[in-house]
Structure 1
Amino acid sequence: MTHPALAPDSVAVITGGASGIGLAAATRLAGLGLRVCIADLGEDRLAQAAEAVAAAAPGGRSSVLAVPTDVSQAEAVERLEATVRERFGGTDVLMNNAGVQPGSALPGTAEAWARIIGVNLWGVIHGTRIFMPGMVARGRPGLIINTGSKQGITTPPGDPAYNVAKAGVKALTEALQHTLRNTPDCRVNAHLLIPGFVFTPLTANGRTEKPAGAWTPEQTVEFMLERLDAGDFYILCPDNDVPRALDERRILWAAGDIVENRPPLSRWHPDYAEAFRAFVERGGDG
């Protein structure tokens, strides 16, 4: 089965659509017959991506739109929504996927924090706020898929600005789904995509070959589509190194820091290393 929003002639808008997971999603949805708009920065990158998406689309280039968009700016996202509405009549599937991960530290610089929060969190806020009313008003099956991160749940040390942004995306998407399910006659649902290790330009770090532990963007999108069909809100993706069972233990341990009154990020605290190892090994037994 295929989710009813992913029907031929539905309209999908994907930010960060010129590469990685966004491009894989755009190509896959175009192949299902959706009309697709990719939004990103870099006109040359966008043009190349649009041709790749068009090659998969039954309708060819006429069913693909590419719009340069800085998602950190509300006005740019408003122009994106209006452009899609004028060209295709509205939006049925919104994938707030644009992201940057240049690295961050504390205290870091205000500029670095502003860029990471601006794209990774405000980009999702802008997309959600600006597209949602029109999507609900269409009265059609719809999807808002926000790309989060496991780092927004377990918040490992090393990149605090990214963690803060992705934790915000999780909270926003949960609130969004609560709002949608309590909106009369609403046929739009929200979902949180939580990728594993995916080999993309964002994670390549100079590598040209995919590490054995990573999934491809295409694998991630296929898993996303399977879990959308199953109705999952939290689309928690494994990869070639980390199965779901290990993710579950890591997430439970992180929540346990509060419940057990442990130090924050105790998973990385030397006094708790043995306790964490034993907790993972116990698996579903405790």
Structure 2
Amino acid sequence: MIDNYGFTEFQRQVIAEFRANGGKVGGMFEGWALVLLTTVGARSGLRRTNPLGYLEIDGQPLVVASAMGAPASPAWYHNIRKNPMVTVETGTETYPAIAAIPAGEERDALFAEVVRRDPGFGEYQAKTTRTIPVVTLHRVEPGADRVRGLGDFLVESHDWLRQELTDLRRQLNADPAAIERTPPGLAQELRTHCLTFCEALKEHHTGEELGAFPMLAQRFPALAPALAKLSEEHAVVARLQAEIQRLVDGYRPGESDPAALRAELDRLAAELEAHFAWEERTVVTALNAMGPAPEF
């Protein structure tokens, strides 16, 4: 039986041979398709590299957290539950990726295909009561020539909302005294514009709460705390929206104070920009890994 030190030394030798021979390894791994997966330690924060069996199913690279049927999942799997950003080495290339954890029917279908190709994984599953996870690896591709993903669509939606809010503020800020001199027609235009913006923002956040966020939390457990915080921010933004809508609906040219409305719009703009920026840093890469953007 190999002790922890012996196993670690064995892994080092496999990694060295893999890197020296363009991904080819002899001995017990001869003929296997392997990758080196580098994760960030959930507790240590240090980079950890593991040689793993590698498959591609319908073009999707994946690895399996079998630990040869051990009762507990391997350490690298716990690492990606804390931080899904990984580095993949195939022997011919090295690239950054984000690791996702499919669940339910999707996981079962992938695992069935894994077992069909390599029955040994079915034997590992038979040895343990835990459901062996399948982990899909999604290349993080910078550059304009990559496929436009769901994360890119999110940024485009944010940019549209940013522009709508900018236009709304411009109606008040182009000339601080102008709104005092405007006829009721412009006040109605302001109400209509505000209603359009607020309804679009509400729909955007509702879609995230009911669709995108639960989906991301399931596939990328590390994102769950950040997604919960983003949901809390939605409530703050909703309260600001309601106050702005109240001020706009109650605005009367020549009677109401435009400064109060400008101040609330400025506050909403600052809150939203901070929210959008953090949301984009947090979820865009993961959303892009989920699939392409919708076509309209």
TM-score tier, shorter chain, comes to: under 0.3
Larger radius of gyration: 2
Q: What's the TM-score once normalised by structure 2's chain length?
A: 0.25
Question: Structure 1 or 2: larger helix share?
Answer: 2
